Amino acid sequence: VAWTWRAGGPAVPNTDGTITSQVSANTDYGFSIVTYSGDGSGTANSDSGDTFGHGLGTAPDWVICKKRTGTNGWPVYHSAAPTGALVLNSSAANDSSSFLFAKKDPTSTVVYLGNNPEINKTGDDYVAYCWSEVSGYSKFGSYTGNNSSTGPVVDVGFRTRWIMIKRADGVGNWIIYDTERDGATDNTKRLYANTNSAEVDNSGYRLDITDTTFQPKSTNDNFNAASSYIYAAFADRPGNNWDVNNIVT
């Protein structure tokens, strides 16, 4: 299975941040791919003062970074778990003490970086995938589980095509559902971004999807304990101004 987002063609230099980045941005659909070279000391848990430009024109709600010249993890910023950091290849809770993103939310022009080899060290190269919310197409938010077989109904404003859910206040997998692999309504097939496990299919992780909402239908800790969860959701079909020739080649 593969899920793809198209950015804005060949990358161009961006000097909005203290670090000059190379950016390919699709502002219509809120997605950019950024490459940059680190400029920090590599000392963990401190603010480097470094930033890179993301080219979206609005503050990103979701940022995933990865060192290209080493074997470090995948730091994740999410607007519903601000000032801290998550790690895509880890089930750990959001770390509010982390300086991976310098304990600062991105702005309409830049993403803040801490002094940490995971995300910003002199001599290392990095890539960042940045998304900002687009009404009717993408939604980045949070919900509080209720530890019930009929979980909270979360309104995203569109029929979800792809969704990733992560428990923010405790240990939990990064769960991925999509309606290509499963039904358009009751989804039980899931993959985990943080493990190499095969696809799992059982009713213990049922996610109900409607025209405008999604709803967990299980008490599983990974998506509906009495805990805080973040999510990233994308539409089944974009708005009326969608131009397939601009997205798919």
- pLDDT of amino acid 184: 72
Per-residue pLDDT band at 82 (split at 50, 70, 90): confident
- Report yes or no: 113 and 40 within 8 Å, Cβ to Cβ: yes
CA distance 167 to 142: 9
pLDDT tens track for 167-211: 999 999 999 999 999 877 789 999 999 999 999 998 888 999 999
Mean pLDDT of the chain: 92
Q: Is 139 exposed, middle or buried (0-12, 13-18, 19+ CB in 10 A)?
A: buried
